[in-house]
Chain A
Amino acid sequence: MALSSTIYNTIFKRTSTFALACGISAFFFERTLDLGSETVFEKVNQGKLWNDMKDKL
């Protein structure tokens, strides 16, 4: 209960801090999503990518 009231009072109560928190988390969200999707893509296409075959050519 104390944690949720702390979060509410410090972040969500004021629009300025709420918007700031959204912006900061958007930055981390972007990094995570981009790296994650890249990793998944490379895992799915393993052996077909340029990095995998450039030594053979």
Chain B
Amino acid sequence: MIKPATVPNYLKAVSQVVSNQLSTNTQAAVIAKKPVCKIPHLGSSAIALSKTLPNGNMSVTTGPTVSTQIRWAHTDINVPDWSNYRRDTVKSPTAKSSDTEESRKNFTYLMAGGLSVGGAYGAKSVVTQFISTMSASADVLALAKIEIKLSSIPEGKSVTFKWRGKPLFIRHRTASEIAAEQAVAVASLRDPQHDNERVQNPEWLVVLGVCTHLGCVPIANAGDFGGYYCPCHGSHYDASGRIRKGPAPLNLEVPAYVFPEEDLLIVG
């Protein structure tokens, strides 16, 4: 009779293993080889690797009903061949690295040194170019000197040239003018200078045509002393360009000049 209290007895199952006392040779367990999906190695280039990528319709291959693939990274990934990146002297596994250490270091330092030599050259060029923009340009330098042919200036005449933006008086003095200027008493002058201090060659007077008073341009062969006369405020200069009368405080300025040849004058 089935009573509720006896129901568990019917539902209980007991399994009991009883040794049969027979000695059996232990058998090596044979484990079935797991199927591994082998991807053929086509190469390590970008195109070859892209060919191994899945394309088309993809389906799920893992999940409750499909066995999960396990990657054995230490066995199924090929280690790339680095020999192109390694130095020849240490490619062999039996090579002693200390034997070739210095030549390998030399190569590395030579590369670094070559780069710094090139860099130093480039830096110097850049700095030089920037600094050279501050120096005078070629057209300014070309105007800095003036070359005058003296045979074109007759005796007793004063010729005006433009030099560095200012008028330049070249006067071919006559013998009487030279004698008169040499004889002037230096002590009587406002800006005492002997004629010999102002000319290299007594025949030629080279002065800037700028009045030392307020910068007007004097007129040649005019005034009380036969030299130059400034029309602005009435300064009189003699044939040596010295101030003799009027408001100007100083003699006309004498620029630097040379006579490189008999017939040539270079001012500047």
A residues apposed to B, CB below 8 Å: 1, 4-5, 7-9, 11-12, 18, 21-23, 25-26, 29-30, 33
- For residue B121, CB closer than 8 A to chain A, the reply is yes
Residues from 105 to 150 in B contacting A, C-beta threshold 8 Å: 105-106, 109-110, 113, 116-118, 120-121, 124
- Known: A7-B106, A26-B116; 9 extra A-B contacts, CB below 8 A, are A4-B103, A5-B103, A9-B102, A12-B110, A22-B116, A22-B120, A26-B120, A26-B124, A33-B121
Can you name the residue of chain A whose Cβ is closest to the Cβ of B118?
A29
Across the interface, name the chain B residue whose C-beta is closest to A22: B116
Interface of B is mostly: helix
Instruction: Given A26-B121, A29-B121, A33-B121, answer yes or no on A18-B113 (Cβ-Cβ < 8 Å).
Output: yes
Q: Taking CB as reference atom, which chain A residue is nearest B107?
A: A4
Residues on the B chain within 8 Å of A5, using CB: 102-103
Q: Please report the number of residue pairs spanning A and B whose Cβ atoms sit closer than 8 angstroms.
A: 42
Assess A23 versus B113: contact at CB under 8 Å? Given A8-B105, A12-B105.
no
Residues of B contacting A1 with CB < 8 Å?
Answer: 99, 102-103
Give Cα A23 to B113, complex, Å: 10
CA distance A22 to B109 in the complex (A): 11
Point out the residue from B102, B103, B106, B121 that lies within 8 Å of A30, measured CB to CB.
Answer: B121
Interface on B for A, CB 8 Å cutoff?
A: 99, 102-103, 105-106, 109-110, 113, 116-118, 120-121, 124
| A8 surroundings in chain B (CB, below 8 A) | 102-103, 105-106, 109
* A30→B118 CA distance, assembly (Å): 9
Closest to B105 in A: A8
Instruction: For residue A31, give the distance in angstroms from its CB to the closest CB of chain B.
Output: 10
CA distance A33 to B103 in the complex (A): 28
Specify which chain B residues have a CB less than 8 angstroms from the CB of A18 in the assembled complex.
Answer: 109, 113
A5 CB, nearest partner CB in chain B, Å: 4
Residues of A with C-beta under 8 A to B102: 1, 4-5, 8-9
Most buried by B among A5, A11, A26: A26
Select one of B109, B117, B118, B124 contacting A12, CB under 8 A.
B109
Q: How far is the CA of A25 from the CA of B121 in the complex (A)?
A: 10
The 6 closest A-B pairs by CB, nearest first: A12-B109, A26-B120, A4-B103, A8-B102, A5-B102, A26-B117
CB of B115, distance to nearest CB on chain A (Å): 9
Complex alpha-carbon distance, A34 and B116, angstroms: 17
Question: What CA separation (Å) do A7 and B109 show in the bound complex?
Answer: 11
Judge whether A25 and B113 touch: CB under 8 Å: yes
